[in-house]
């Protein structure tokens, strides 16, 4: 059965924009015969959207499902899965329920999070599509201080944590101000509600009509949905912000990482889509970091010191990484290009401080990769894509938030495209970068490489021509090594610029455009430093 409701919008919109549908489709109902195997009830929901109402991205869809599912099943626990994920082990629900039902575990557990695992990851994983640092390192640490944040998918969450618990004595009008005008939905909050689907196993048109009201785009007007109720709308990373708010309220979470993947999905396997995805995440995290909900000021009184510092580290990660990487990619090189020593001489004892910091950072990241089942080449690929991501995605995501705060730009993001392209998949499996990406992502990478090449080559020429006059090598070794390290680590970009000539290489016009940018940076830098 399919139930549709046509919504007529403002007259200023075209005819296509006026036709907005809510669709409920009962895929199957409970078996009527006692000897038949009962198949779980499956209902498809498509919410209403109109140009005049913001749909609030994924969080808006989740809140519609929260309301509609309350009318149909009102289950106290909900499994959240992205559309490209599927359950690989049906025992995952039993593992999650062990925490909810065990009398020795606290009743304040809001959700049980499983890692995101993917079936299409190649051996090298050159784009870090599996996000290994998050799911194999950070979330394990989070689990020891109250539990990880919501990761968008692969979790069992308690309905009460999102909606709250209420008694029959609760004032009806107060509930309506928070949850909307539907009396039927209010009943699911304060009573032992038994949906019609569960009682008689037959779809009820009346019940579908009630659910239709809950899925309308205007239902949330003048309510608390998205602000204090359900999944929160403050930023595009609704999972992070909702998890942060739940932990701030005193709820806890659990991170489970079984040997057998409980859920499998499809990861992005090309540079352009990975960059878009991380730009969206960076924008959401930065919008929390520079708002009144900043974990540094919003968390201390309600969370443990370690927990709010973990959330702070995540929130400020895009901003701090992009600033530091842009600084390391240009400032030492501009000083090197203009013969200005920035670090102590190699013979100076204070040089050891910089050496220890650099080596310890490398060894720490290498240790984390190796101890979580990776290899040296895995570390190399992760380190390289982290540098690329900081220069591009983290920068654009942070810039988007700053412009939005200044009223110069409105945030707008598209869902990640995971449509399989055979040619891209072949390159990915071979461990070859596909540079068929937007110029906005390629130009910064090429510009950084060209500036470092210019600074390093000039330093070599000066050192050879002047025959190490005045100990030039000893004074400039730190900056020369940094440029050399950046070039070696990002040899893939150099290869895409100069060596490769296939369709997935870096286009010539991008290299020429980046050359102009590099020349401007060198000239402006020289003028300032001189």
- Residue ranges of the binding site: 58, 82
Phi-psi region of 339 (alpha: psi -120 to 50; beta: other; left: phi over 0): left
The DSSP line for 159-228 is: HHHHH----TTS-HHHHHHHH-S-HHHHHHHHS----HHHHHSS--HHHHHHHHHHTSTTTTTTS-BTTT
Please give the structure tokens belonging to residue 429.
């499996």
The most distant pair of C-alpha atoms in the chain lies apart, rounded to whole Å, by 95
Residue 231 and residue 244 in contact, taking contact as beta carbons nearer than 8 Å: no
Sheet of 42-46: strand order equals 2-7, 20-28, 42-46
Q: How distant is the alpha carbon of residue 473 from its chain centre?
A: 43
Q: Residue 336 CB: number of other CB atoms within 10 A?
A: 24
Cα 6 to Cα 16: distance, rounded to the nearest angstrom: 12
3-state secondary structure (DSSP) of residue 6: strand
Q: Which residues pair with 109 in a beta bridge?
A: 252
Beta-strand pair 77-80/42-46: unpaired
The DSSP H or E segment spanning 253 is strand 252-255
Q: Residue 494 CB: number of other CB atoms within 10 A?
A: 18
| Strands annotated E in 29-123 | 42-46, 77-80, 85-87, 109-113, 117-118
Is residue 200 exposed (0-12), middle (13-18) or buried (19+ Cβ within 10 Å)? exposed
Cα 318 to Cα 297: distance, rounded to the nearest angstrom: 19
Q: Residue 175 CB: number of other CB atoms within 10 A?
A: 17
Residue 442 and residue 506 in contact, taking contact as beta carbons nearer than 8 Å: yes
Cα 429 to Cα 422: distance, rounded to the nearest angstrom: 10
- Residue 113: closest CA among 214, 247, 313: 247
- Residue 50: closest CA among 192, 203, 215: 215
Please give the structure tokens belonging to residue 9.
């919008």
What residues are designated binding site for Mn(2+)? 58, 82
């Amino acid at each position: 059965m399919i139930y549709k409701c046509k919504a007529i919008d403002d007259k200023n919109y075209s005819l296509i924009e006026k036709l907005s549908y809510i669709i409920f489709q009962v895929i199957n109902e409970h078996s009527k015969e006692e000897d038949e195997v009962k198949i779980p009830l499956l209902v498809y929901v498509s919410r209403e959207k109109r140009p005049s109402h913001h749909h609030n991205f994924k969080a808006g869809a989740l809140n519609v499902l929260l309301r509609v599912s309350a009318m149909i099943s009102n289950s106290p626990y909900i499994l959240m899965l992205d559309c490209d994920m599927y359950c690989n082990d049906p025992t995952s629900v039993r593992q999650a329920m062990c925490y909810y039902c065990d009398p020795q575990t606290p009743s304040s557990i809001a959700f049980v999070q499983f890692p995101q695992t993917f079936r299409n990851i190649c051996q090298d994983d050159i784009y870090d599509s599996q996000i290994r640092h998050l799911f194999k390192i950070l979330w394990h640490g989070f689990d020891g201080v109250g539990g990880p944040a919501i990761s968008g998918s692969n979790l069992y969450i308690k309905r009460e944590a999102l909606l709250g618990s209420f008694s029959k004595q609760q004032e009806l009008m107060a509930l309506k101000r928070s949850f909307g005008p539907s009396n039927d939905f209010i009943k699911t909050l304060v009573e032992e509600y038994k949906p019609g689907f569960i009682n008689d196993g037959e779809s009820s048109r009346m019940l579908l009509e009630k659910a239709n009201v809950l899925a309308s785009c205007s239902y949330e007007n003048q309510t608390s949905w998205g602000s204090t109720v359900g999944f929160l709308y403050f930023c595009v990373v609704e999972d992070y912000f909702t998890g942060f708010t739940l932990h701030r309220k005193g709820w806890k979470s659990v991170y489970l990482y079984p040997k057998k993947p409980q859920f499998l999905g499809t990861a992005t396997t090309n540079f352009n889509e990975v960059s878009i995805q991380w730009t969206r995440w960076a924008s959401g995290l930065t919008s929390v970091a520079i708002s009144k909900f900043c974990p540094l000021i919003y968390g201390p009184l309600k969370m443990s010191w370690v927990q709010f510092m973990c959330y702070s580290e995540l929130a400020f990660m895009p901003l701090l990484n992009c600033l530091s990487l842009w600084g390391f990619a240009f400032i030492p090189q501009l000083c090197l290009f203009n013969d200005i020593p920035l670090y102590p001489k190699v013979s100076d004892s204070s040089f050891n401080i910089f050496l220890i910091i650099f080596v310890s950072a490398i060894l720490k990241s290498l240790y984390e990769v190796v101890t979580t089942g990776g290899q040296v080449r895995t570390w190399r690929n992760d380190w390289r894509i982290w540098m690329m991501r900081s220069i591009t995605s983290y920068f654009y995501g942070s810039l988007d938030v700053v412009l939005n705060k200044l009223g110069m730009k409105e945030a707008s993001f598209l869902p990640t495209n995971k449509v399989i392209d055979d040619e891209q998949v072949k390159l990915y499996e071979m461990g070859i970068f596909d540079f068929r990406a937007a110029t906005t992502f390629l130009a910064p990478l090429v510009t950084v490489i060209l500036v470092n090449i210019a600074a390093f080559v000039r330093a070599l020429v000066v050192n050879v021509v002047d025959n190490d006059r005045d100990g030039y090598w000893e004074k400039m070794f730190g900056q020369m090594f940094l440029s050399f390290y950046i070039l070696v680590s990002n040899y893939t970009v150099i290869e895409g610029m100069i060596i490769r000539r296939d369709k997935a290489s870096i286009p010539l016009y991008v290299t020429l455009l980046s050359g102009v940018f590099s020349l401007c940076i060198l000239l402006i830098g020289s003028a300032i430093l001189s």
